[in-house]
Amino acid sequence: MFEATELNIRNDRIQERFRYLFLAMAVVLIVPVLVILSLLVIKGGPVLSWSFLTEFPKNGMTEGGIYPALLGTIFLVLVALLFSVPLGVAAAIYLSEYAKDNWLTRVINLAIINLAGVPSIVHALFGVGAFVIFFGFGTSILSASLTLAIMTLPVVIVATREALQSVPHAFREACWSLGATKWQTIRKVVLPNAVSGILTGVILEVSRTAGETAPIMFTGAVFFVPFLPESVFDQTMALSLHLYTLSTQVTDVPENLPYGVALLLILIVLAMNALSIGFRTYLRNKKKW
């Protein structure tokens, strides 16, 4: 029978200590999230109701609902996705499938990485200068959405490029051997097999877009409007800015109201993420490799 040596015993002890260390780190990360979610559910749950979702704010935003802010957040996210996803996927296709490895592509990749690390307030000032003033869109849903699209574009590009590169090169060679062009191969084989990975970037973009405040505060979102937007050139309310307003600018706000707005914002993000994850899982299960 094998007898453990002193070295084996010491290695087992070290391994056990690291196991407990990593477990403690996981608990430290998870427990605060559970505490925050529990607090939001306890304090914000009673506020959520059908009237809260479908009514306009009243009495200086101390009563009523959040319907215009809810609708405005959905508009901002959808318009931002409409611009960033096609542009990000196209850029990733070029970098992954067409571009050669030279100084230009390395500069582009470096620029994408740096763009991902730019603070959101800098994107906000860029949006004001570019979309509000230079292009003349004014403070509107379009300006705010384009600012959010530029801010989240690196996430889509990086996720899409990784998804494209994960498709086996043998798939491309098989198509080329049958006489398909590069674009036909990308459109018919590479992209369908990379959709699940592309959705990862879209999920991250939705989460960040819905929760941003600074970029939309300067470019299109307002504290309060007594009407719903009729086009992308109108201003709108947004849940993130509405939460900031209730927490810092409005007096005599019921204690549970900001918690209800925060809980609803998190639920929207979770619902969008769950829908995207479910669709991504469905596509992955259809893969043959």
Q: Which amino acid is at 181?
A: T
Superfamily for the 50-285 domain:
MetI-like (1.10.3720.10)
* Beta strand pairing call for 57-58 and 63-64: antiparallel
Q: Where are the alpha helices (DSSP H) in the chain?
A: 6-44, 50-54, 67-93, 103-116, 120-127, 141-166, 169-177, 182-185, 191-211, 214-219, 239-248, 256-285
Full DSSP string of 156-225: HHHHHHHHHHHS-HHHHHHHHHTT--HHHHIIIIIHHHHHHHHHHHHHHHHHHHHH--HHHHHHTB-S--
Predicted confidence at residue 148, as pLDDT, reads 93
| Domain residue spans of the chain | 6-47, 50-285
Tokens at 196, concatenated: 């699940």
Using CA atoms, how far apart are residues 267 and 258, in angstroms rounded to an integer?
A: 14
For residues 120 and 127, what is the distance between their CA atoms, to the nearest angstrom? 10
Q: In which residue are the tokens 């994408």 written? A: 112
* Mean local confidence (pLDDT), 85-94: 92
Three-class SS state of 258:
helix
Q: What is the pLDDT of residues 192-233, one digit of tens each?
A: 888 888 887 788 788 888 888 889 999 998 888 888 888 899
Q: How many CB atoms within 10 Å of residue 104?
A: 10
Can you tell me which residue has the tokens 């973009």?
205
β-bridge partners, 43: none
Q: Which one, of 120, 140, 135, lies nearest residue 219 by Cα?
A: 140
pTM: 0.86
Distance from C-alpha of 4 to C-alpha of 39, rounded to nearest angstrom: 50
The mean pLDDT of 111-123, rounded to a whole number, is 86
Q: What is the pLDDT of residues 142-169, one digit of tens each?
A: 999 999 999 989 989 988 998 898 888 8
Residue 41 has pLDDT above 80, yes or no: yes
